[in-house]
Amino acid sequence: MNRAGSGMPVPGMEDQPDLFTALNLSDKGLSGDVFRIALKGLRKLEAVGKLRNSGILTIVDFSQSSKNKRLYVIDLVHKALLFNTYVAHGKNTGEEYAKHFSNVSGSCQSSLGFYVTKEEIVGSSVGLSLILDGVEKGFNDNALKREIIIHGAAYATENFIRKTGRLGRSFGCPSLPPDQVKQVVEAIREGTCLFIYSRDDQYIRHSLLLN
């Protein structure tokens, strides 16, 4: 993986259309606009030294149905889609679709915006997990206090969709299929950019990383 100062080139904004096309991201449900703004935020975080590894970008696209594989882990250096899998949203955020977002403890809602990944931990109830640090004031900067983490959950699986018609829901964490959480955590831990998106006018208009 590329670490800051490693000397490995990371594609710039001018390369974004080619990379989006080369990875067939449209065929996998991600729009060019979401990819573009995710890359824009990553560049701003990189410019102020927030990222240890600017070569990995994770996008969670909560504008999509929870029946879709709406988490994307992209290696910008090697131009590869590392993971495309299911991810659950908070139980008070919506049922099949994520509609309501909050930065408030106890809300059981997901929080939009850009995060920097921290270290992995092993939780007593959820097992291997990844700490997320929200860096957007008012939108997700309570993530550490709320203990928003990436973890595995049986309700974030294709089998759960077959039974209920949608994924299950978390207490606000972006939860992944248990058989993939270890690989994803190892790929994105310790200083990469994670972006949680939805079509939320307040966030799009007021995010300092997008405006």
* 39-60: pLDDT as tens digits: 999 999 999 999 999 999 999 9
Short-list 75, 43, 87, 77, CA closest to 180: 87
- Burial zone of 174 (CB within 10 Å; 0-12 exposed, 13-18 middle, 19+ buried): buried
* Sequence ranges of the domains in the chain: 13-206
Q: Band the pLDDT of 203: cuts 50, 70, 90.
A: very high
Residue 6 has pLDDT above 90, yes or no: no
Residue 92 has pLDDT above 50, yes or no: yes
Short-list 77, 101, 90, CA closest to 9: 77
Q: Band the pLDDT of 125: cuts 50, 70, 90.
A: confident
- In angstroms, the Cα distances linking 168 to 36, 43, 49, 102, 142 are 29, 33, 36, 19, 23
- Sole residue written with tokens 């990436």: 150
Q: What fold, for 13-206?
A: L,D-transpeptidase catalytic domain-like (2.40.440)
| pTM score of the predicted model | 0.93
